[in-house]
Structure formats: C-alpha cells, structure tokens
C-alpha cells in the first residue's frame, strides 16, 4: 500500500473511532491503539506533506457569514461545446493523444494553494464572477488541507455529493415536497452555505479535473502528467482513459457500462487533448475553448401517450404534478410515471391529456418528459385542492411557479401528518390506512395524535360505519394498544419535525440519555453539539418544541406511552461494522427489523454500498443487482442472512446479549 492510500485509511479509521468515542457509547479501539495510529498518521503526513481536511491532525474552525463575498475570475470559465456522437468525438481527437473523463454533475470550484496550504476557493458562478467559499471548502472530506508543493497552485475541481449520501440525507426528510430533487441541487446548497459547519455535515467531496497553473513545475507538456502529479499531491482526480480516434468507441463503451454503478452523479464525458501547448494554441471561440469537447449521452427516448396528471398534495401545502403515461421500456426498466416538478414545467411543455410525449431517463437514471409532440396546452391547473376542495393559488418559489393549497386546515395536511405518525418506523399502528384516517378525521374522531389512543369513545359509531364492523374495530384498538410500548426516538420521529428522520431522532435521544424533558428543552446550540445534527435541523427541532401547543401534545402523548430504552451491545462481534441490506429477508420480518437488530448490537445499517461498507447482506449472492455489482467492484463481502447470524453467534444468542 502506498503512503497516500495508508493516510486515507488511517484518517477513516481514526474518524470512525472518534465519532463512537465522543458519542459516549463505548469505543471501537483502545486509547493505546488510537494513539499508535495517530502517531503513524502524523509521521506519514510529515513525510508526504499531505494533510487531508478530515484528518484528526487538521483542526478546522467553522465560520458563519452574513453573505458570501464575490470575486472576479482572472480569466473567464467558458463552457464546453457538446456532441452526442461518438464519431464526432473520434474525429475531434484524430491521431492526437487525448484524455476521456467523466463530466461530473456538481458545482465547479477554483482552488488556490499557497505555501502548501489552501488559500482560496471560489465557485464558478456565471463564469466571470464567483462566490468565495474558502471556509466551506476546508470541510470537503477528501480535500488536502496541506500539500507537499509550496508554490502557488491553481486547479479546478467539481464538488459533488454521492448518491448514497444524497439518499441518506433525503431518507431523513419525511415529506416528499421537502426532499432534495437531485445530488447536484443538494451539493450546490451545501457548498454555498453561510455556515461552514453545515457544509461539513453534508460529506461534500472534490474531484480535480484541471490544473490551471503551478509555478516552476515541468509537466512535460502533458495533461495526463498533470493529473498524476495532482494525485501525488493528495488530490482525488476524475477518472480518465487515454484515447484517440482508434479506440474512442471502446472508451465510450467503458464509461457507458460503468455509469449505472457509479455512486457519484455524472451527466456525460469530457474529451481533452493531452498536448498542453497544442491545445492552448487553438485558442477559444466566443463561447468555447477549442482544446476540449463535452459528450452528452444519446438518451434512449421513447414516445408514449400522456393519460393523466396526478396532483399530489403534501402536508406542507404544495400540490405537485406527476405525469402518468402508457408504460415504456427505458434503459432496461419499465417506466410509467415521471415527476413534472412544478407549474412552470407544465406550462413550458404545454401539456394536455392524450398528448403524445417523449420520455427519457436523465443521466440514464431519473424518468423525465423530454418533449411534448402535440403541445395542446389543454391541461387545466386545478383551482381547487384535490383533497379539501378549497381554492389553490400559484406562488413563485425561486423563479418557479408552484401550486399551493390555501387552506390551513386542509385534510391532506392532517392526513399526511397522521399517516406519518402511524407508519411502521414511527408509532407502527397497523391497520389504520390513509382512507381510514380520512374518515375518522372527517367525522371528528381524530383531531390530534392523542385522540388515536381514545377511539373507544366512538366504538358504536365506528362499528356502524360503512366498511367497518366489530372485528375491524378490535383490530385497530389492538394495534393502537400495542403501539403504546415504543421508544422515545420513534415518537419524536412520528411528530414530523422538519428534517428529523428516525436516525437523527435516535442520535438526539442517545445524546440526552433518553430524557424526554431535556430533549424537549434542548436549545439549538446544544443540539448542534451532536455529531450529525446541523444548524438547520437543530433550529427546526428547537423551534418545534418552542411552540406551546407542540409541547402540550408531546406531554399528553408521554402519558399514553411506555418507553423502552434503546439497548445497544457495543461489545458484540458486529460493533462498529457497516452493513447494507438488499433483496428479501427470511429470518426477520422485514429489512427494518434486521436494521434494528444490527443497530442494537453497535453496528450501522447504511443505504448504499461504498468503500466503508463491511458487508452486503443479500440472500441471492449471485444477483446482478447494482448493489451486488458495486460490492464486487469494491471487494465488499456479500453474505446471506444465515452467514450474518453466524457472525453474531446465532439469533437467539445475539438476542440474549442485548437483554
């Protein structure tokens, strides 16, 4: 293993150990072992001159700004000319040695290093003026804080958030309308934060894709040499393939075959001449440099018929359009729905029912409407909320028109909140569907969450309702009473506090030792001391419990419930290990039960396979699923449930360990 790889391994191991230690929940290595590895890391950093931003030896002070300062770029950052033709790419390269690499879909950053340390970081902005985000860049998890080279170095890179991190952050947001649309939007918002502590919590990474200048370094007139030089300075560099006209088709095929399993967002490829002098001699057009060209995937586009636009109300009041069309096969899967996002896009596409539309998968992943061939413009924007029938209004949100229900007492807002409260990961009240909630709310049986625990007051009326009877009533009451024994984290998650998912609720409960009074009175500052809780979440949580009505409801619920403290066995065989679960399970009721089993024994259940995954649990080890492919690529062991249970000494023995 080379020194840089060892530095990265040590940083990850020490970071994991520190997180466990400072959470107050046991430890995954002794102090002696931590000190030994720390000393080894210090020595390697001194030998190489490379210190990663996430290194425990690098102390980063967070900054809070009132606004991001602007700065002019020394030279315009031009866009690239584009093609969707492999033949055009081959022709562009000709006989010249060229580099074909990913076109990353994040936020472009210009970084300047002086005397071996990060001096300045500026976003691309409009190509002429960018925003200074130096404090935020210092928190990028893989960016070197110091490098061996001591002259002035200027590079360009793409700040990205991986799909697995994107999914993790979105999974903790309960309302669909509040979720981030894609990793690029999340990355842009994370990088351009006024509080660098928030950026640090988003796991932003940077991949270098261009070296602009480095004083007194001979790069042998080669872009490839520059890439390799940057790697030796500690930077992660965009993956590339050396190519020319003869092997262009094979190189493009490699990237096309790989993209489905990538954990990072990409919207195409970039072809760049290796010969620096030749490329620069070509100059630029008014819009594009002539030494490089972008390749956009020739999307598989299918024609179909729009059958319906479903307007879906959320508990925030937003009413979101979803296109329903005749099923088509795209990139190997059947697709029949696509989000239209907002009213502005509906108007731009001039949609109408029965219109002939074309659909594709953006970046070969997300179903989208490409075009409307009919453009009848006959689709009516609802003037009444599809749930409560009260008037809607069109508002502007960051220049986009959105449809909003104006009724603060809209049933959808109540139903969505109650649906969330009774769901499996919250209070787990089985047998109460959205339709049942709608009927109970409409009849006045339920006005707040505590009413769910007193449905016996309406026994006669419920039994007499259409579609109900004594057995249905008894099943509901049994499920309600069963839910009385729960965890404090599940209750907090069920309250629907903005951005607080079950994982965050567990973090908060552990930090305050399951003390409901301390949790209810926690300030935003106290909450921000918890690893994984940033300013936005902390403020949302504190603001929720600042409301007298919310505090009253929480206390009333506490009287109805019996809380079981979370028991975690940090000395188990899987303590500190990270697992990903895919496919069906047999030994457990569902994946959530298996996740809880893992967490109770000090393990972590992640949503996506990464280099930090210790095991992928899949009963079909020969599956060709994307998670299996990723695990094989990264060398992550794929084990069955039976093999997993062998790790913990069998289900029965493992259960005894946590009693």
User: What are the residue numbers of the active site?
Assistant: 103
Within 10 angstroms of residue 406's Cβ, the number of other Cβ atoms is 13
β strands within 514-594, DSSP E: 562-563, 578-581
Within 10 angstroms of residue 80's Cβ, the number of other Cβ atoms is 18
Q: What whole-number distance in Å separates Cα of residue 86 and Cα of residue 268?
A: 12
Take residue 317 and report the two structure tokens written for it: 């009041």
Which residue is it, tokens 């980063």? 60
Q: First and final CA of the chain: distance in angstroms?
A: 42
Take residue 144 and report the two structure tokens written for it: 């070197």
Instruction: Kindly write down the DSSP assignment for every residue of 644-656, as one continuous string.
Output: HHHHTT-HHHHHH
Q: Give, in order, the Cα–Cα distances in Å from 339 to each of 47, 315, 368.
A: 52, 18, 7
Residues 6+ apart with CB under 8 A from 544: 495, 497, 498, 550
Q: What whole-number distance in Å separates Cα of residue 540 and Cα of residue 363?
A: 33
Q: What whole-number distance in Å separates Cα of residue 138 and Cα of residue 128?
A: 23
Residues 6+ apart with CB under 8 A from 495: 421, 449, 544, 550, 554
Helix (H, G, I), strand (E, B) or coil at 218: coil
Q: What whole-number distance in Å separates Cα of residue 265 and Cα of residue 279?
A: 27
Dihedral sign from CA coordinates of 510, 514, 520, 521: negative
CA triple 346-265-609, angle to 5 deg = 120
If you compute the radius of gyration of the chain from its CA atoms, what whole number of angstroms results? Answer: 27
Element (H, E) at 7: helix 3-22
Nearest Cα neighbor of 311 from 386, 200, 229, 245 is: 386
Element (H, E) at 166: helix 163-171
Residues 6+ apart with CB under 8 A from 466: none
Take residue 430 and report the two structure tokens written for it: 């089985």
Take residue 575 and report the two structure tokens written for it: 């303590």
Answer left, alpha or beta for residue 395, where phi above 0 means left and psi between -120 and 50 means alpha.
Answer: beta
CB 552 within 8 A of CB 528: no
Helix (H, G, I), strand (E, B) or coil at 127: coil
Which residue is it, tokens 């804080």? 145
Residue-wise burial string across 410-430, b where 16 or more C-beta atoms lie within 10 A, e elsewhere: bbbbbbbbbbbbbbebbbebb
Q: What whole-number distance in Å separates Cα of residue 413 and Cα of residue 421?
A: 12
Pairing type for strands 638-639 and 615-617 reads parallel
Instruction: Kindly write down the DSSP assignment for every residue of 164-212, as one continuous string.
Output: HHHHHHHHT--SGGGS-SSHHHHHHHHHT-SBHHHHHHTT-EEEEEEEE
Length of the chain: 659
Residues 6+ apart with CB under 8 A from 189: 180
Helix (H, G, I), strand (E, B) or coil at 241: strand
Q: What whole-number distance in Å separates Cα of residue 52 and Cα of residue 206?
A: 12
């Amino acid at each position: 293993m080379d020194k840089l790889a060892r530095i990265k391994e040590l940083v990850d191991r020490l970071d994991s150990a520190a997180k466990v230690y400072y959470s107050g929940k046991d430890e995954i290595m002794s102090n002696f072992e931590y000190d030994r590895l720390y000393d080894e890391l210090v020595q390697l950093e001194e030998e190489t001159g490379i210190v990663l931003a996430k290194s425990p030896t690098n102390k980063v002070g967070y900054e809070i700004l009132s606004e991001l300062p602007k700065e002019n770029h020394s030279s315009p950052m031009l866009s690239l000319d584009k093609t969707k033709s492999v033949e055009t790419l081959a022709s562009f390269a000709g006989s010249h040695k060229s580099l074909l690499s990913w076109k990353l879909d994040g936020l472009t950053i210009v970084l300047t290093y002086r005397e071996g340390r990060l001096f300045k970081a500026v976003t691309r902005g409009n190509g002429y003026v960018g925003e200074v985000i130096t404090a935020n860049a210092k928190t990028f998890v893989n960016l070197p804080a110091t490098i061996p080279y001591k002259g002035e170095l200027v590079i360009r890179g793409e700040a990205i958030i991986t799909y697995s991190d994107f999914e993790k952050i979105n999974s903790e947001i309960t309302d669909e309308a509040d979720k981030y649309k894609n990793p690029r939007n999340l990355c842009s918002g994370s990088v351009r934060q006024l509080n660098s502590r928030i950026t640090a919590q988003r796991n932003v990474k940077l991949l270098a894709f261009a070296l602009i200048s480095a004083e007194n370094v001979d790069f042998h007139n080669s872009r490839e040499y520059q890439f390799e030089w940057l790697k030796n300075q500690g930077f992660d560099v965009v993956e590339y393939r050396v190519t020319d006209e003869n092997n262009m088709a094979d190189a493009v095929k490699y990237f096309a075959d790989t993209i489905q399993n990538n954990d990072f967002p990409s919207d195409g490829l970039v072809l760049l001449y290796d010969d620096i002098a030749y490329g620069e001699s070509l100059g630029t057009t008014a819009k594009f440099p002539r030494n490089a060209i972008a390749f956009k995937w020739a999307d598989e586009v299918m024609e179909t018929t729009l059958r319906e636009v479903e307007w879906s109300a959320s508990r925030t009041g937003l009413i979101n359009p979803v296109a329903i069309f005749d099923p088509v096969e795209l990139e190997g899967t059947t697709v029949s729905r696509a989000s239209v996002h907002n009213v502005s896009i509906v108007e731009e596409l001039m949609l109408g029912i029965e219109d002939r539309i074309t659909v594709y998968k953006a970046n070969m992943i997300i179903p989208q409407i490409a075009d409307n061939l009919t453009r009848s413009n006959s689709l009516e924007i609802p003037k009444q909320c599809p749930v409560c029938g009260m008037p809607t209004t069109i508002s502007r949100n960051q220049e986009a028109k959105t449809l909003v229900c104006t009724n603060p007492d809209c049933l959808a807002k109540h139903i969505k909140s109650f649906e969330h409260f009774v769901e499996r990961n919250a209070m787990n009240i089985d047998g109460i569907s959205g339709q049942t909630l709608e009927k109970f709310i409409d009849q006045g049986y339920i006005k707040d969450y505590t009413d769910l625990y007193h449905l016996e007051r309406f026994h006669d009326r419920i039994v007499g309702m259409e579609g109900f009877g004594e057995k249905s009533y008894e099943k509901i009451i049994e499920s309600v009473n069963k839910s009385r024994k729960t965890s404090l984290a599940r209750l907090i998650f069920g309250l629907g506090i903005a951005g607080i998912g079950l994982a965050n609720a567990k973090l908060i409960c552990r930090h305050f030792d399951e003390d409901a009074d301390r949790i209810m009175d926690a300030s935003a500052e106290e909450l921000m001391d918890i690893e994984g809780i940033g300013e936005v979440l902390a403020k949302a949580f504190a603001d929720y419990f600042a409301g007298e009505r919310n505090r009253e409801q929480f206390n009333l619920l506490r009287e109805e419930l019996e809380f079981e403290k979370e028991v975690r066995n940090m000395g188990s065989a899987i303590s500190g290990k990270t697992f990903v679960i895919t496919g069906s399970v047999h030994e457990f009721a569902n994946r959530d039960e298996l996740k809880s089993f893992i967490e109770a024994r000090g393990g972590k259940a992640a949503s996506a396979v990464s280099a930090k995954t210790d095991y992928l649990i899949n009963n079909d080890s020969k599956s060709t699923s994307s998670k299996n492919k990723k695990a094989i690529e990264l060398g992550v062991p794929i084990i069955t449930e039976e093999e997993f249970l062998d790790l913990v000494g069998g289900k029965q023995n493992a259960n005894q360990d946590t009693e």
